[in-house]
Amino acid sequence: MVTAQAECAAIEPPNGLNKLAAFSIFQSNFKNKDYPLALEYGRWILCTKPETIEGFPGFELSRQLDRFTTIYQEFAKEQTDPSIKATYLDSALMVFDIKLELYADDQEQVYKTHQQKGRFYLENNSIVADAVTKAYEEFQLMFDLDSEKTTTTARGYYVENLIRNYINKKETAKAQEIINEASKYATGGLVEKLNEFQKDLFETPEDVIAYYQPILEQEPKNVEALKALEGAYEDQDNQTELTSVRRKLHEIQPTYESAKALAETEKSNARYAEAIKLYKEALKMAKTKTEKKQTNLNIADGYINQGDIKTADKFVDAAIKIDPNYGRAYIAKATIYNTAITNCIADRKLEAKDRMVYWLVIDYLNMAKSKDPSVANTVNSQLGSYQAVTPTGEDKFLRLGNLKDGQKVKIDGSVAPCYAWINKTTTVR
């Protein structure tokens, strides 16, 4: 049995061959999978580790060393005696160690060798003692050398295995370190898997807070810690702490998302002026049409809650200008004009002239579902209540100048001064 551990007595090619000829025979037999003969003519390479071979400019020692690990693994596969299998696999491991020593200053080669060695352990875990643990140690070395490459290689295979191993061993801190670093480079499905791993680490929001609060105390501008705490406080419905964390995030790293999140927190706490201010900040940073139209509508909603429906109407118009088929915006218009009626009759009774404005409300609800079928159910749930309060036949004949169905009427100051700003036309029905 010839192994890498055996003494390298012969440092020259066999049978008096020159190095180029011996290398050619080694290479040919390796490709033909005649591994015993390949080793016979190539062993001198393993022993002497030449950096070059005269007459063969494409010679790469690292590639040849990889071939020796393959040779010893193939020898092991042919054996039935576990002890002999293990000996050959030890030889392959010795070659990996030779590579690591030779290329200690070559990070790319070191990374590749740790990767090969880790896979080797997993492939031979039934023979090599404690192979799985050793494989994870190699994967950790890969991650330490190049976290980005390890995260993006093989669709996150190495990162997933590392994290799962640490979680199974209850080594939460190490798993968290991998998740934090890998999250910087993860894309696609790996992002979802990292999120799932994160959930596995923390069973309750209190767990998240207990882990990240000390980190934040040491590093007040740690964005990862702030985002984790944001999620925990949101789960707890702790509005005070949630607002505080979102403010810090927005101060450190102002984005559309941070401004929007903070605005929504202020809105939920009925601080509409502050919410409007933040939504306007978000609007300046919005990039897509969807972000812009939704933010305009959120600003409008803030003004509605403040009672400033005239300004709200302008922001709804801005949303419709961005997307003429935005159903929610037309529903908002209906809400605004319904509120206008409520405001106008604050100190008097509802009159037939006020009831005409409900036709305009219905116009916008019908526009909403005709332009955007996704809001049809919402519209249909509201239509009946408005149709019930429109002018009656008696109202149209006696109190509204004998209006006829299909006739156009203007909702403006001629109806009542409080409606002057609306200046819209509707249809008698």
Model confidence pLDDT, tens digit, residues 300-341: 999 999 999 999 999 999 999 999 999 999 999 999 999 999
Q: Which residues pair with 355 in a beta bridge?
A: none
Region 275-300 average pLDDT: 98
With a CB cutoff of 8 Å and minimum separation 6, the contacts of 132 are: 121, 122, 125
Confidence tier at 3 by pLDDT (50, 70, 90): low
pLDDT in the model for residue 202: 83
The percentage of residues in the chain with a pLDDT greater than 70, rounded to a whole number, is: 98
Confidence tier at 8 by pLDDT (50, 70, 90): low
First to last CA, the chain: 101
What long-range pairs does 246-251 form, CB within 8 A, spacing at least 24?
248/220, 249/223, 250/278
The DSSP output letter for 395 is I
3-state secondary structure the chain: CCCCCCCCCCCCCHHHCCHHHHHHHHHHHHHCCCHHHHHHHHHHHHHHCCCCECCECCCCHHHHHHHHHHHHHHHHHCCCCHHHHHHHHHHHHHHHHHHHHHCCCCHHHHHHHHHHHHHHHHHCCCCCCCHHHHHHHHHHHHHHHCHHHHHHHHHHHHHHHHHHHHHHCCCHHHHHHHHHHHCCCCCCHHHHHHHHHHHHHCCCHHHHHHHHHHHHHHCCCCHHHHHHHHHHHHHHCCHHHHHHHHHHHHHHCCCHHHHHHHHHHHHHCCCHHHHHHHHHHHHHHCCCHHHHHHHHHHHHHHHHHHCCHHHHHHHHHHHHHHCCCCHHHHHHHHHHHHHHHHHHCCCCCCCHHHHHHHHHHHHHHHHHHHHCHHHHHHHHHHHHHHHCCCCCHHHHHHHCCCCCCCCEEEECCCCCHHHCCCCEEEECC
Tokens of 357: 């404005």
Side chain identity, residue 313: D
Say how far residue 353 (Cα) sits from the centre of its chain.
54
With a CB cutoff of 8 Å and minimum separation 6, the contacts of 3 are: 72, 87, 88, 90, 91
Phi (first) and psi of residue 56, to 5 degrees:
-135, 85
Region 150-177 average pLDDT: 93
Helix (H, G, I), strand (E, B) or coil at 375: helix
Residues 351, 171: Cα–Cα separation, whole Å: 72
Confidence tier at 9 by pLDDT (50, 70, 90): low
Confidence tier at 195 by pLDDT (50, 70, 90): confident
Residues 418, 391: Cα–Cα separation, whole Å: 19
Return the minimum-mean-pLDDT range out of 2-6, 141-145, 308-312, 383-387: 2-6
pLDDT in the model for residue 196: 85
Tokens of 111: 């990374």
CA-closest candidate to residue 225, choices 212, 241, 244, 243: 212
Confidence tier at 42 by pLDDT (50, 70, 90): very high
Residues 423, 409: Cα–Cα separation, whole Å: 10
Residues 410, 363: Cα–Cα separation, whole Å: 13
Phi (first) and psi of residue 409, to 5 degrees:
-135, 150
pLDDT in the model for residue 10: 59
More confident residue, 8 or 77: 77
pLDDT in the model for residue 203: 78
pLDDT at 7 over 70: no
Confidence tier at 200 by pLDDT (50, 70, 90): confident
pLDDT in the model for residue 224: 86
Tokens of 141: 């070395």
Residue 263's alpha-carbon distances to 119, 205, 328, 388, in angstroms, are: 49, 23, 19, 37
Confidence tier at 83 by pLDDT (50, 70, 90): very high
Question: Considering the chain, what is the average pLDDT of its residues?
Answer: 94
Q: Which residues pair with 411 in a beta bridge?
A: 424
| pTM beyond 0.75, yes or no | no
Residues 336, 417: Cα–Cα separation, whole Å: 17
Confidence tier at 185 by pLDDT (50, 70, 90): very high
Angle at 51 between CA 50 and CA 53, to 5 degrees: 75
